[in-house]
Amino acid sequence: MNIVVNGEQRGFEGVGDLAALVVALGLDQRKVAIERNLEIVPRSAYLTTAIAEGDRIEIVHFIGGG
């Protein structure tokens, strides 16, 4: 399955939902926020949010800024 994560085309096998995607990317879900096709997904819904071919996912976190 091909999806776009943070602007990059990526292929994933066996990753069905956002919770699995976060794990597959090596991220800590407590430290990120996720948008799927421009809709924010609450952290509590990662397990129940399925990923589909062609989805555009944005995963952000806090970094230093003024």
Partner 1 sequence: MNAHTLPDDSWTVAGRTFRSRLIVGTGKYKDYATNAAAAEAAGAEIVTVAVRRVNLSDPSQPMLVDYVKPDRFTFLPNTAGCFTGEDAMRTLRLAREAGGWTLVKLEVLSDPKTLYPDMEETLRALKLLVAEGFDVMVYCSDDPVYARKLEDAGAVAIMPLGAPIGSGLGIQNKVNLRIIVEQAKVPVLVDAGVGTASDATVGMELGCDAILMNTAIAEAKDPIRMARAMKHAVIAGREAYLAGRMQRRLYADPSSPLGGLI
Name the site residues for partner 1 (rule: CB under 8 A): 5-8, 10, 25-27, 31-35, 38, 40, 42-43, 58-66
Nearer to partner 1, 14 or 64 (CB): 64
Residue from 37, 36, 40, 38 nearest 21 by CA: 36
The pair of three-digit structure tokens given for residue 34, joined into one six-digit string: 């996720």
Q: Which of helix, strand or coil describes residue 46?
A: coil
- Least distance in Å: CB of 30 to partner 1? 9
- Least distance in Å: CB of 32 to partner 1? 6
